Chain A
């Protein structure tokens, strides 16, 4: 408790400082415990350097880069869903098998019922939404801890999945439209076009926001900071697009493989859409409020129960999308789809990316950054050691480190919150 009599009066008008000031402000926030995705980004760079030095020829190949995106896609989408429930301070342990169950519904709808793929996709998504509705209602209306509800659903959905798939064991996916998501690439020009749209979209929307604040006479971001952000993002996206547009096939092969994987479009649409929902709408604001102080949110007139149910529906529906991605990647659905470490990887991805397990803190982009970290570990470790025991231990340790960083930064927030 420091007395605040030394507070400086800062006029409301005018811009915030330039690049130097922005860097100092950011560092002050990090020291105050608001670390966001910083550890994940540093970890990602460190891991890439580490694996690059140890196994450069394999790990840093362009083929492996595209492979990484495919390996991380389902985890990223699952983690995006988990961000919604983690923001509330809740957990969904059943998301992995929700993904599997929805994938099974998709496979049965395509294979046994003979539905066209859009209808099968809708059936899978509705299954996900229904699962979320059940979990959310039990948690919000009956007041059972989400840990218990979703642990029970973890078992129940595993059983439901076996029943749906039946005795056969594995259902193949033959729909071209579903398969192309994880196995197809955009044309080279399409990839460049996508890159330009993303960069221009980011630059123009942030510029519009700065202009709006200027017109209203509110402090706005300096143009130098804006330029640095847009420039950094542009370099990152253009380099990634350039790499993905290279030929990935061995020189001897007849078929060419090049271009940005189609799944990148799926992830981008979800990233932009869900970020908009959480950051720009009243619903998103209320999600953060409930995660920060449930009683305050209730007194402010927010329907806390309905909001919690909605978040669980989002989580399970996104799990359904992750299930479709898994089915597309494996070309089939089996009782192990969405099982094993899928869920732990997704929770790990969200937490490593910077989403707090205590609620109220986190962003959709955390899922993307954390998912990439998890995929790099899962992809790079087998190149170094064949022992799966070591791989499990290392992955577990990384999750523990992320949870520790979360807990420590939470303490810092509490101690600097004078």
Chain B
């Protein structure tokens, strides 16, 4: 893998507009392998726009993407996947009528000749889930429609790591879950980072961020207010960063926050 001192993914000076709306202004972000980076911010702060650009859904207008130490341009979702970047969207994009293995390999099936190689796929799926210490699935051959919300999230995350990816972006993975299931999913997120992957966790939930994050990056009205280690800030300070863009001497300085040149 990459040198741990160097970020896995670095964004520098990212700008993105939708028509007259300037959504992202000179955003910098560093994601390190083996760490969970929480991306927080209020509604409309630009979190989704930022990750969609990294996922290749649309291009940034200006700025640099440095991945594993090399500048890259990401022009489509396929290219992001080829680099080892996987995104788990909030709606999970699972097919209810297919079983766990089929969903994990959907669109990238292992074949032997013209037929599907079901045994190889099931074996690899089982290995991946075992690697993530997932023991909540009774059978890999049960349909996704019979799974709980937490189990579905688990399947979606396992699908993302199946492809030797090294950066996994999770969009609000616990938004629809109960207490016990949130706990399960957060443990899984932690294990992803412990296995050496870079993890970006988009979340609204301060409890989740406190429980699992190593770094916190806070967007405020399209600017990166601050990227700090979690241990250096209190929960109260994070909330201030989200709502006002600054907290004490960290965050955007007043003149910048008012819209001066960055």
Contact = CB atoms under 8 A, between A and B. Distances in A.
B148 A300 contact: no
Given A282-B116, A300-B107, A3 B95 contact: no
A341 interface: no
B94 A296 contact: yes
B40 to A, nearest CB: 25
A291 B96 CA distance: 10
B146 A7 contact: no
Interface stretch (A194-202, A315-323, A410-418): A410-418
B119 A292 contact: no
Given A10-B139, A293-B96, A32 B146 contact: yes
A292 B146 contact: no
Contacts of A306: none
Interface residues of A, number: 42
A221 B58 CA distance: 47
Interface in A1-25: 1-5, 7-10, 12
A34 B98 CA distance: 12
A280 B116 contact: yes
B12 interface: no
B23 to A, nearest CB: 22
Given A216-B123, A281-B114, A297 B95 contact: yes
A288 B123 contact: no
B103 to A, nearest CB: 8
Nearest to B138: A10
B70 interface: no
Nearest to B115: A280
Contacts of A213: 119
A344 interface: no
Contacts of B98: 285, 288-289, 292
Contacts of A291: 97
A293 B93 contact: yes
Contacts of A413: 96, 145
Interface string B149-182: 1110000000000000000000000000011110
A301 interface: yes
A34 B180 contact: no
Contacts of B120: 216
A363 to B, nearest CB: 12
Contacts of B107: 286, 289, 297, 300-302
Contact of A34 (B89, B114, B143): B143
Interface string A245-279: 00000000000000000000000000000000000
Given A216-B123, A288-B95, A413-B145, A4 B151 contact: yes
A301 B102 CA distance: 14
A286 B150 CA distance: 25
A1 B107 CA distance: 29
A8 B139 CA distance: 11
A291 B145 CA distance: 14
A361 interface: yes
A212 interface: yes
A292 B93 CA distance: 10
B178 A3 contact: yes
Contacts of A218: 119, 122-123, 126
Given A281-B116, A288-B95, A1 B148 contact: yes
B147 A418 contact: yes
Contacts of B93: 293, 295-296, 299-300
7 contacts: A7-B136, A216-B119, A217-B123, A218-B122, A285-B106, A296-B93, A299-B89
Given A218-B122, A292-B95, A292-B97, 15 more contacts: A1-B178, A3-B148, A4-B180, A12-B126, A216-B119, A219-B139, A282-B111, A282-B116, A285-B98, A288-B97, A289-B95, A293-B95, A297-B107, A301-B107, A417-B146
Q: 7 tightest CB-CB pairs across the interface, nearest first?
A: A300-B107, A292-B95, A292-B97, A296-B93, A360-B97, A417-B145, A4-B148
